[in-house]
A and B are shown apart, each in its own frame.
Chain A
Amino acid sequence: MAALDTAWRGIGAPGVWLTGAQQVKIIEEARAARACGLCHARKDALSPTAIEGQHAAVTGLPLALVEAIHRIVTDPGRLSEAWYRRVIAMGISDEAYVELLSVVAMATAVDTFDRAIGGRQRAVPPAREGEPSRRRPRGARPGLGWMPMLAPEDVAPDDPPLYESGGRIGGNVHRALSLVPEAMMRFWDMFETMYLPQEAMRDFAHEYRAIDHAQIEMLAARVAVKNQCVY
């Protein structure tokens, strides 16, 4: 699947708030989280905050990033705004967190796909040199989620065209990564090839995949349930 290859290679490039090397380490940390004893203990606990300890980290990334990566990977359904505020207070910006979230999500998509089809886990992409561009969209505003987000009506002419392809209508899930428009576009370019573009989602008269709309939506719902996703 070409979109996955493109997404994977792109993770090694300098981002907007993270370097290529940091993003590659995020992939490595996301993979390591699956075997983290602290994460297993927290996942089994009635409340994850009741369990203290140290993550089995493998990358040397700052603690705030490690905590964010491990919880997003291993217990996403129980993340809360209080947890998010604690992570930010540990020393990561809203913008860097959003870019991290997009990398963890893309790494999850690629690894889950490869595992599902019986493929081997692919090697991490090479990290490329370069500085993050550090450009924040001026129109991003707080209020919808835990961090500021960029609504379609607030996109400025010099912002990346994050809502202009795939029929992205600016639903809340489209806005989730919008504080870093480039990360949002990179994730959605990949996701829409795995699922369906917006127009095809509701075009029940036509089938676009080897499984039909009902089968696609059943799988989507089941994975959401397994991950305890309320959205």
Chain B
Amino acid sequence: MLRGSGKHSGTDYSFEGIVDGDGGSGVAAEAELLAFADAAVVMDERLGEYRGHVVDRLGHEAMIDAAAVIAGFDAITRVADGSGIPLEAPKAEATAEWRNRLGIDAFWSMKS
């Protein structure tokens, strides 16, 4: 979906920074949003500080919407991983190169 969004806006977003958390994706307010997401999911004690950075940069409503997306995906990843659904073949084919390059396929080998 991020690629679709980039195609529409003519922006070449980079996935590397999102996967490793180091930034450089090209998405606006990336640093504030990634820190907020990480802190919310892993229960970092600096969550309040990062929440404030999102509010300062994007506003209160954006912080609420970001929290909703983070929480929704904290849930749906459990639905996907807890049910054993595979990635649809066309999606797997379309994303094979960058999934391998970014190390996402390595997650498969960790299952037990």
**Residues on A close to B: CB < 8 A?**
1, 34, 47-49, 72-73, 76-84, 98, 101-102, 104-106, 108-110, 112-113, 115-118, 144-147, 171-173, 175-177, 187, 190-191, 193-195, 201-202, 204-205, 209-231
Contacts and interface: CB of A to CB of B under 8 A. Distances in A.
Contacts of A193: 68
A106 B8 CA distance: 32
Given A223-B74, A230-B105, 5 more contacts: A80-B111, A101-B78, A115-B40, A214-B9, A217-B2
B76 A173 contact: yes
B88 A172 contact: yes
Contact of A224 (B7, B59, B77, B84): B77
Nearest to A227: B77
11 contacts: A101-B82, A118-B51, A171-B88, A212-B28, A214-B27, A217-B2, A219-B69, A219-B73, A223-B77, A228-B107, A228-B110
A219 B29 contact: no
Given A79-B81, A108-B78, A146-B83, A223 B51 contact: no
B38 interface: yes
Contact of A231 (B30, B63, B87): B87
Given A113-B68, A116-B51, A194-B69, A213 B5 contact: yes
Centre residue among B29, B66, B86, B112 by max chain A CB count within 10 A: B112
Interface string B29-45: 11001101110111100
A194 B77 contact: no
Contact of A211 (B65, B73, B85): B65
A217 B108 CA distance: 22
Given A144-B86, A214-B6, A223-B37, A76 B18 contact: no
A220 B69 contact: yes
B54 to A, nearest CB: 9
Contacts of B9: 204, 214
Contact of B73 (A82, A106, A175, A220): A220
Given A76-B77, A219-B69, A230 B108 contact: yes
Given A80-B111, A116-B40, A217 B1 contact: yes
